């Protein structure tokens, strides 16, 4: 095939610990498209047990990829090997490096990304969208007053999704406050692990967390090489969001990325969870965001968040990175909340 000849100029070292026979991998539909690569669905025969076919996700380059992009994918694969396995991250399963295009085989998460998952579990036909319509401007002026509809949500409320989305599929299960706190906890666990391996994510957001079997949350794209010297502040995601809105001020202004700047992003991710996939600072353009952050502005408490959860969220947005909690600390706090009250 043409793929075959195009990449034959690269000779990658064989790593028998990870090499998976190409002929036992069947590539299926496209799951997603990244900055430089494609993610395909696949079936890997015998990757765990003989004759057992496992659905996997396969990262590969686009046809017109550059040498730099090839090197980035190799680095991502090597990074995943070094980081090792954890329940709350997308784990490396294997790779095809010999005689053909590079395929990096990772765990497949059947429920897609957390942002879409949360949004699809919003109740329809209720006044939910009035209560938390984060698609409309929440911040109407620069000092941050003004809100979507103002009212708080009853404590202990159940997020009722039984009306479903009308897609004629299995009725959506009801998300409880405990589910939401469990999501917060699981992401903190994954990040605690990555931080312990000196891995800084740099783009932690609900769109980069995947929902796997039994609703286990897994952090994705932690091994990506990000070009920080040519960072595009105006870059939008496919759904029109600005990744800068997840960035800590020191990362944004001084390119100072640490696990503590990941903690800031984690705070924004918490906000996404407790708005069921809301859009942070909607309709705030990049230039205004800079000023907003310089003036110490912070997002308000989402209706579904308890004051306790909001206090955790808010602590992640401390100006001084040293005053933010560590992921260790966040895991402890969330564990306490999860095992006590609910």
Ramachandran class of 146: left when φ > 0, alpha when ψ lies in -120 to 50, beta otherwise: left
Cα–Cα nearest to 193, from 150, 222, 224:
222
CB nearer to ligand ADE: pick between 106 and 204: 106
CB nearer to ligand ADE: pick between 241 and 260: 241
Give the contact letters, 60-99, x = binds to ligand ADE (CB under 6 A), - = no. Answer: ------------------------------x---------
Q: Establish whether 239 is a catalytic residue.
A: no
Quote the least distance from Cβ 185 to ligand ADE, whole Å: 21
What ranges in 249-302 are assigned the alpha helix state H? 249-254, 259-274, 286-294
Quote the least distance from Cβ 110 to ligand ADE, whole Å: 7
Question: Taking the CA atoms of the chain, what radius of gyration do you get in angstroms?
Answer: 21
Q: Does position 57 bind ligand ADE by CB under 6 A?
A: yes
Q: Does position 36 bind ligand ADE by CB under 6 A?
A: no
Q: Does position 25 bind ligand ADE by CB under 6 A?
A: no
**DSSP bridge partners of 44:** 25, 54
**Is 109 annotated among the ligand-binding residues?**
yes
Find the binder of ligand ADE among 65, 93, 102, 106 (CB under 6 A). Answer: 106
Packing angle between helix 259-274 and helix 327-339, nearest 10 degrees?
Answer: 30
Which part of the chain contacts ligand ADE (CB under 6 A), choosing from 71-79, 104-112, 154-162, 302-310? Answer: 104-112
Quote the least distance from Cβ 199 to ligand ADE, whole Å: 17
Subset of 196-215 contacting ligand ADE (CB under 6 A): 210
Q: In what order do the strands lie in the sheet with 103-107?
A: 25-33, 37-45, 53-61, 103-107, 92-96
**Is 221 annotated among the ligand-binding residues?**
yes
Annotated catalytic residue, options 203, 213, 254, 320: 203
Q: Does position 191 bind ligand ADE by CB under 6 A?
A: no
Token digits of residue 258? 């640490």
- Burial of 256-290, coded b for 16+ CB within 10 Å and e otherwise, reads ebbbbbbbbbbbbbbbbbbbbbbbbbbebeeeebe
Q: Does position 39 bind ligand ADE by CB under 6 A?
A: yes
30's enclosing H/E stretch is strand 25-33
Q: What is the C-alpha end-to-end distance of the chain, expressed in Å?
A: 57
Q: 30 exposed, middle or buried (CB, 10 Å; 0-12, 13-18, 19+)? A: exposed
Which part of the chain contacts ligand ADE (CB under 6 A), choosing from 31-39, 72-80, 119-127, 230-238? Answer: 31-39
**Is 36 annotated among the ligand-binding residues?**
yes
* Distance, CA of 152 to CA of 69 (rounded, Å): 47
**DSSP bridge partners of 130:** none
Find the binder of ligand ADE among 27, 32, 300, 318 (CB under 6 A). Answer: 32
Number of residues that bind ligand ADE (CB under 6 A): 12
* Distance, CA of 327 to CA of 276 (rounded, Å): 22
**Is 108 annotated among the ligand-binding residues?**
yes
Q: Are 80 and 223 in contact (CB under 8 A)?
A: yes
Find the binder of ligand ADE among 31, 54, 158, 200 (CB under 6 A). Answer: 31
CB nearer to ligand ADE: pick between 108 and 153: 108
Active-site positions? 203
Binding site per annotation, positions for ATP: 31-37, 59, 107-109, 113, 207, 221
Binding site for ligand ADE (CB under 6 A): 31-32, 39, 57, 90, 106-109, 112, 210, 220
Binding site per annotation, positions: 31-37, 59, 107-109, 113, 207, 221
């Amino acid at each position: 095939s043409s793929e075959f000849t195009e990449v034959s100029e690269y000779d990658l070292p064989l790593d028998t610990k990870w090499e998976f026979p190409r002929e036992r991998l069947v590539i299926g539909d496209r799951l997603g498209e990244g900055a430089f690569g494609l993610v395909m669905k696949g079936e890997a025969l015998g990757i765990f047990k003989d004759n057992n076919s496992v659905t996997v996700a396969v990262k590969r380059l686009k046809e017109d990829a550059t040498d730099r992009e090839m090197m980035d994918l190799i680095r991502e694969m090597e990074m995943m090997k070094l980081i090792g396995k954890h329940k709350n991250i997308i784990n490396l399963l294997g790779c095809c490096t010999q005689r053909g295009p590079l395929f990096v085989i990772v765990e497949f998460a059947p429920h897609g990304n957390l942002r879409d998952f949360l949004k699809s579990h919003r109740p329809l036909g209720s006044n939910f969208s009035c209560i938390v319509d984060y698609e409309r401007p929440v911040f109407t002026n620069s000092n941050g007053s003004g809100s979507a509809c103002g009212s708080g949500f009853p404590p202990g409320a159940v997020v009722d999704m039984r009306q479903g989305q009308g897609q004629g599929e299995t009725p959506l299960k009801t998300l409880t406050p405990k589910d939401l706190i469990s999501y917060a906890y699981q992401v903190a666990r994954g990040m605690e692990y990555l931080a312990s391996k000196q891995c800084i994510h740099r783009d932690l957001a609900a769109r980069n967390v995947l929902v796997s079997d039994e609703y286990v949350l897994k952090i994705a794209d932690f091994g990506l090489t990000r070009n920080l010297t040519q960072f595009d502040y105006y870059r939008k995601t496919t759904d029109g969001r600005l990744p800068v809105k997840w960035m800590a001020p020191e990362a944004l202004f001084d390119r100072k990325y640490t696990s503590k700047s990941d903690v800031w992003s984690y705070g924004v991710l918490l906000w996404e969870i407790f708005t069921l996939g809301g859009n942070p600072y909607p309709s705030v353009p990049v230039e205004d965001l800079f000023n907003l952050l310089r003036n110490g502005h912070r997002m308000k408490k989402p209706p579904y968040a308890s004051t306790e959860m909001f206090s955790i969220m808010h602590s992640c947005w401390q100006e001084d990175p040293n005053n933010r909690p560590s992921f260790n600390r966040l895991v402890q706090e969330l564990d306490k909340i999860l095992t006590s009250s609910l």
